Amino acid sequence: MKIGLIGAGAIAHFLLEEINEKRQENLRITSVFVRDREKHHLLESNYGVKLYTEIDAFLDSEIDIVVEAANIEAVHTLLPAAIRKKDVVLISIGALVDEELLAELNTLANEFNRRLYLPSGAIGGLDLLQNAHVLGTVTSVSLTTRKPASSLIEETIEKEKVIFEGSATEAIRRYPKNMNVSIVLALAGIGFDETSVTLVADPKIDKNIHQIEMTGDFGEATFTIKNNPLPANPKTSYLAAMSILGTLKKIKQKLLIG
Ligand SMILES: NC(=O)C1=CN([C@@H]2O[C@H](COP(=O)(O)OP(=O)(O)OC[C@H]3O[C@@H](n4cnc5c(N)ncnc54)[C@H](O)[C@@H]3O)[C@@H](O)[C@H]2O)C=CC1
Ligand SMILES: O=C([O-])CC(=O)C(=O)O
């Protein structure tokens, strides 16, 4: 599969290293869409990719699938065009809190027979949640995220501090670079307004910790994920980057687990 990558940040570099440098069977990043060609020109010689700054030329390049690893704004501006022409893997999932955008992408995916893949990102348990809610009988889902204080707030604090409590809808609006996980959790489960989120800035940790609790007719489940951060962007967990690779590998698998 030839991949077109949108973005050239921490996750994009992870994918370029793992797929093009270390090599993954049947996967190759061939095109990268960037805003500033000069800034990223070394990617061409380092990873054998071609850079694009014009979205149509990027989408018309010889790629089978688009991987978005940029930001929420890029999803708004680029994804409707992308889904018309290619299947898309999307990691800035927070963009989908905009129900108009979500409906538009769904309609376009149907019309052009494309797929939109949403990796689990920095969390897990989405398979369980979807199964548990298949009859609409999950009654509560909550997420408590703790991140190093320095990646969330400017001020210096001595003790942990709850900096947000509310719905996933509000969480992603206030913390668009940190709460994508709340939106994929809401999509897999009971919705944006019903999924409760607590965000804690903790000066004593160096991991991104997500604790998920769910209850319903199935029973109860609790997951805790203590993520190592990506060194290139400590706000982002290593697992989030790996989950894109996991999603890409699954696309061609005949044996599907979960
Ligand atoms: N779903 C999940 O669990 C997670 C999602 N994320 C999200 O993944 C995305 C990427 O994360 P990182 O690589 O750590 O971020 P990053 O900040 O290191 O890199 C983002 C890159 O995208 C580029 N970019 C921004 N707008 C663009 C546009 N319109 N066109 C082309 N490039 C553009 C930036 O210049 C930057 O190089 C972010 O939106 C982040 O919030 C991060 C962690 C977990
Ligand atoms: O990487 C993480 O731990 C979670 C994150 O930033 C997000 O969901 O936006």
pLDDT in tens, 94-151: 999 999 999 999 999 999 999 999 999 999 999 999 999 999 999 999 999 999 999 8
Average of per-residue pLDDT values in the chain: 97
User: How many whole angstroms from 10 Cα to the centroid of ligand 1?
Assistant: 7
pLDDT of 42 reads 97
DSSP calls for 200-249: EEETT--SEEEEEEEEETTEEEEEEEEEPEETTEEEEEHHHHHHHHHHHH
| Equal fold, 2-121+239-252 vs 126-228 | no
The CATH-assigned architecture of domain 2-121+239-252 is 3-Layer(aba) Sandwich (3.40)
- Return the pLDDT at 213: 98
Tell me which residue has tokens 């199935």. Answer: 218
The share of the chain scoring above pLDDT 70, in percent, equals 100
Q: What are the catalytic residues?
A: 210
Q: How far apart are CA 170 and CA 206, in angstroms?
A: 25
The count of other CB atoms within 10 Å of the CB of residue 25 is 6
Strand, coil or helix: 43: helix
Pairing assessment for the beta strands 28-33 and 50-52 based on DSSP bridges: parallel
Tell me: ipTM over 0.95. yes
Asked if 164 and 198 count as a contact pair (C-beta separation under 8 A), the reply is: yes
Per-residue pLDDT, 84:
98
Q: Which three-class secondary structure state does DSSP give residue 33?
A: strand
CB neighbour class for 98 (10 Å; exposed up to 12, middle 13-18, buried from 19): middle
Q: What is the per-residue pLDDT for 96?
A: 98
CA of 224 to the centre of ligand 2 (A): 14
Q: What percent of the chain has pLDDT over 90?
A: 98
Residue of the CA atom closest to atom 39 of ligand 1: 71
Q: Closest-lying ligand to the alpha carbon of 243?
A: 1
Which residues, judged by CB distance below 6 Å to any ligand atom, belong to the binding site of ligand 2?
121-122, 177-181, 208, 227, 235-237, 240
Q: What is the pLDDT of residue 73?
A: 97
Nearest atom, ligand 1, residue 11 CA: 13
Alpha-carbon gap, residue 69 to 188, rounded angstroms? 20
Where are the chain's structural domains?
2-121+239-252, 126-228
How far is CA 2 from its chain centroid?
A: 20
Structure tokens at 83: 């889904």
Q: Among 151, 144, 3, which residue's Cα sits nearest to residue 65?
A: 3
Report which DSSP code applies to 20: I
- pTM of the complete model: 0.97
What is the distance in A from the centroid of ligand 1 to the CA of 73? 10
> Which bound ligand lies closest to the C-alpha atom of 145?
2
Q: Rounded to an integer, what distance in angstroms lies between the CA atom of residue 221 and that of residue 233?
A: 30
Q: Which residues pair with 2 in a beta bridge?
A: 28
Task: Return the amino acid letter for 107.
Answer: T
For ligand 1, mutation pick of 11, 36, 173, 237 (most atoms within 8 Å of CB): 11
Indicate whether 23 pLDDT > 90.
no
Check pocket membership of 71 for ligand 1, CB cut-off 6 A.
yes
Quick one: which atom of ligand 2 is closest to the CA of 235? 6
Is 95 a pocket residue for ligand 1 (Cβ < 6 Å)? no
190-228 pLDDT tens trace:
999 999 999 999 999 999 999 999 999 999 999 999 999
Across the range 49-74, mean pLDDT stands at 98
* Tens-place pLDDT, residues 34-47: 999 999 999 999 99
**CATH (residue range 126-228):** 3.30.360.10
Q: How far is the CA of 71 from the centre of ligand 2 (A)?
A: 12
> From atom 24 of ligand 1, which residue's Cα is the shortest distance away?
70
pLDDT digits (tens, 9 = 90+) for 150-167: 989 999 999 999 999 999
180 appears as a binding residue in the annotation = yes
